Amino acid sequence: MKEKIIRFSVSLPETLLKELDNRVINKGYASRSELIRDLIRELIIEDKWQNEAEEVVGVLTVIYDHHQRELTQKMIDIQHSKYVNIMCNTHVHLDHHNCLETIIIKGKPSEIEKIAIEIGGLKGVKFAKLTKSSKVEL
């Protein structure tokens, strides 16, 4: 079922409009409307992450030293000890020393953030970033 589209106008200072148009071009959006829709969805997701009653999804990206003693076991132990659903884990060898993992996690915002902090703080982890996401029912 196709959703009804409503048009509305927005007043912006010229400099802000130019910045908006630059982002439309640089990010490859087809129109200003597409960019605005994405920004609104992003705000909705941020709001969901502020509400502990919401179940959200996060993607934790981790780059670590493959040779760090017991690091992979510690990462696994952290994932198994929390009240979240580890939906998927992808492991890629970047080179002889470095691995990249993505861990898709579903659960309460604070529990997901806690896992991200714990894994990111392990010795041998070189980079850890949590990307916040969620269902957007709009």
C-alpha dist (Å) from residue 63 to 51, 90, 97, 117, 136: 29, 12, 10, 14, 29
State residue 112's pLDDT score.
Answer: 94
Task: Give the Cα separation of 20 and 77 in Å (integer).
Answer: 45
Decide if 9 is inside a domain: no
Q: Are residues 107 and 67 in the same domain?
A: yes
Mean pLDDT, range 92-103, rounded to an integer? 96
Terminal CA-CA length for the chain? 13
**Confidence bin at 48 (pLDDT 50/70/90):** very high
Residues 81 and 107 in one domain: yes
Q: pLDDT tens digits for 67-81? A: 999 999 999 999 988
Q: Are residues 73 and 106 in the same domain?
A: yes
Q: What is the CATH number of the domain that holds 113?
A: 3.30.70.1150
Domain extent for 21: 14-49
CATH number at residue 34: 1.10.1220
Question: Domain tally for the chain?
Answer: 2
